[in-house]
Structure 1
Amino acid sequence: MLKKLIDKLYINNNLNEAELLFLLKNLDDDSRNYLIEKAYHTRLKSYGKTVFFRGLIEISNICSRNCFYCGIRAENKNVQRYRLSKEEILLSCEKGYQLGYKTFVLQGGEDAFFKDEVLVDIIKSIKIKYPENAITLSLGERSYESYKALYEAGADRYLLRHETANKALYHSLHPNMNFENRIQCLNNLKEIGYQIGAGFLIGLPNQTLNDFVQDLKFLKNLEPHMVGIGPFIPQKDTPLRYEKGGDAYTTITMLAIIRLLLPDVLLPATTALGTIDPESRNKAFKAGANVIMPNLSPFECRKKYALYDGKVFTNGEAAEEKKKIDENIRQAGFEPVMSRGDNIKWKRI
């Protein structure tokens, strides 16, 4: 029964809610291996054995939000706050360009300093110097007009994880935030023309298998160009510091299902996944992941961008270790690629 369901998912790239729930409730090692095998064949059809590199630049750990799971939440007084200047961001891009990176990911908290005019200037400066490079932004919720201004300045992609499709669970973890606004932001980004990225956390307190089903159906209906998922990892200075975190086994299972639901999606093997299990990145590639985002941020800032405890920022996470990362990817049977790595169905409008 399970293998028939997996075959149906592989052929149709879809299952209904009841089928997804049955699959998640009843997966054993044999059927999970079969699921991963089908996900691997699907990624081969869409992207071959390629693993796309993105250079991550964490531009600020200042944030106005108070998400209960996040180490850079506004009320955390133990964070050493920093904000990169335009010059520091451009220096990080220069370092990345010299290493061969063709995508820069500017990520940060919701920092009021980065108004539209500031970001527009930074984006245009990057595009003037590196016109062939893609720019991805991951800077939280903004207005339609703001997203449009940043797109017109040259930004190509925007990552905004929906975190959970369960509205009640979302509100329990995000004080003074609005679930409907989060979803509207994703719809606005897609309408403007970005390659959009959504995604959810694995192992949140009170999360159920049915919540995973709702996340998967949400992604299927949204059809984002990228999906970023990773395990919840408790951070010592947050309200959830004593909670149990997510696990690599479930995260990799979800990666495989997402690859089958969305065959053309760009699917990162995240730093959080590598943090809880050093071997999990290669397992993720074999389950359908095809993106890696090594860190280009100034070295002295990397420890300060502590969304969760134990974050790895050296070896396989450091952009400077590109040769080691390349070797590891090749030894796993995959091909490291430094192109822009756009979603195969996207064109800038």
Structure 2
Amino acid sequence: MISASSSLSPICFSEQQIIGLLNGEQDEWLFANAQAVTQGVFDNQVFIRGIVEFSNHCRHNCHYCGLRSSNRQVERYRLSIDEILDAVDDIAQFGIGTVVLQSGDDWQYRAETIAELIRTIKARHNLAITLSLGDRKHQELKLWREAGADRYLLKMETFNKQLFDQCRPNANFDERLARLLYIQSLGYQTGSGVITDLPGMTDEILATDILRLYDLELDMLACGPFVAHAQTPFAQSPNGEVLKSHRVSAILRLMNPGANIPATSSLEVIELGARELGLMRGCNVVMPSFTPSQVYASYNIYPGKNTATSHIEQRLAAMFQQIQHHGLQPNCSRGDSRRYQYVSRY
């Protein structure tokens, strides 16, 4: 039995305690305490990020992702720099303080092109810039940090090398992990995360993944359930369990009180209302897409992503209403990590 605590200091669960929580042994305690810590740290604020998914080309061939290089059925696109900047302008006009620039692992965008994009955004707007561009070279990551990028997200999906290799053929586990550590050394607010219920994942693997994320002392932590895509080798695998993903978010919150944890769109794909429920179970970030409408639906990493047909104003209004319905407040500021304020190990 895990005793309750009103402290905002991190809880370091053992592997066996995490496995018990993943199995639902203390759901009431887990979710109540995760909600209390989230509200205590972030004062009922939910950070809003505007995301621009500017390319769905990818050189990787991951078994779980609809953008995998061997998928010939996806309609590929690349936005021009002007198109990206137009989308960023829209984000700024809504008063949102963070833009997330995301793509598949697409090396057609030269390092200096991305650096100049970052400089232009910084010159035009007072925005935090989060990059999620995959496995780029160390010198590129350094260049982009020097150009003004604030954050970088590089998900491992799992820290179990055998499962990683099964899910990401020809990717290099050790190189990706080393890249994550290098990103952190550059002074980025750094994020990573896992996919719950990946085919082949066990609770023991997931518990170890959670402990690895804790050890990395990250600013951003992402977890979402596996969603089967018909055009991948995992097409026949069952979707992940929303409740399991919520448990992971809650555990991560208690172990990392000041980290930013998004409520992912994959939750909503599996179960209507699951994303907003995640905001009551440890999550504190949502990321509406500002990807232009002509390519919006083509960023199809899993079925059901970017399927809304309403305009961004309508989607934002509905999102804000959902957040406020739970007594929370949408917050469009930069929303930086508060990790250092709530970590007793420093």
| TM-score range relative to shorter protein | over 0.9
CA–CA separation in structure 1 for the residues paired with 2:257 and 2:267: 21
* Alpha-carbon separation, structure 2, partners of 1:341 and 1:114: 28
Which residue number corresponds to residue 118 of structure 1? 113
- Report the CA distance between 1:143 and its aligned residue: 1.8
Mapped to 1, the partners of 2:293 and 2:105 lie a distance apart of 21
What residue number does 1:50 align with?
A: 45
**TM-score, L = length of structure 2:** 0.94
Distance in 2, Cα, partners of 1:7 & 1:210: 25
Counterpart for residue 103 of structure 2: 108
Question: SS in structure 2 opposite 1:229?
Answer: strand
- For the residues of structure 2 that align with 1:158 and 1:282, how far apart are their CA atoms? 24
Which residue is 2:274 aligned to?
280
The gaps in structure 2 that reach 5 residues or longer are: 342-346
Q: Which has the higher helix share?
A: 1
Distance 1:176 1:202 in 2: 22
Partners in 2 of 1:127 and 1:113 — Cα distance? 23
Unmatched runs of 5 consecutive residues or more in structure 1: none
Structure 1 CA distance, aligned partners of 2:325 and 2:254?
25
Which residue does the alignment assign to 1:261?
Answer: 255
- Map of 2:162 onto structure 1: 168
2:78 paired with 1:83: yes
Q: Secondary structure at the match of 2:333?
A: coil
The answer on 1:127 being equivalent to 2:127 is no
Residue of structure 1 in register with 2:327 after alignment: 333
- Equivalents in 2 of 1:211, 1:113: separation in Å? 35
Q: CA deviation at 1:22?
A: 3.4
After TM superposition, give the deviation of residue 9 of structure 1 in Å: 9.9
Written as runs of structure 1 = structure 2, the 5 A alignment for 1:134-149 is 134-149=128-143
Aligned length: 341
**Aligned-partner SS, 2:257:** coil
Partner of 2:223: 229
Q: State the Cα deviation string for residues 172-218 of structure 1 (Å, max 9, x = none).
A: 11111111111111100100000011000011111100011111100
Question: Alignment RMSD, CA only?
Answer: 1.9
- Identify if the C-alpha distance between structure 1 residues 253 and 106 changes in structure 2 by more than 3 Å, giving closer, same or farther: same
Is the alpha carbon distance of 1:318 and 1:261 closer, same or farther for their aligned partners in structure 2, counting shifts above 3 Å? Answer: farther
Q: In structure 2, how many angstroms separate the alpha carbons of the residues matched to 1:140 and 1:89?
A: 18
Task: Give the aligned residue type for 2:35.
Answer: Y
How far did residue 317 of structure 1 move? 10
TM-score normalised over the length of structure 1: 0.93
Deviation at 1:149, TM superposition (A): 0.3
Residue 308 of structure 1 corresponds to which residue in structure 2? 302
CA offsets, 1:16-71, max 9 Å, x none? 2233223334x24xx20211000111112211100000001001000100000010
Conserved in 2, the CA contact under 8 Å of 1:294 and 1:319?
Answer: no
Task: Please tell me whether residue 213 in structure 1 is matched to residue 207 in structure 2.
Answer: yes
Greater CA drift, 77-86 or 137-146 = 137-146
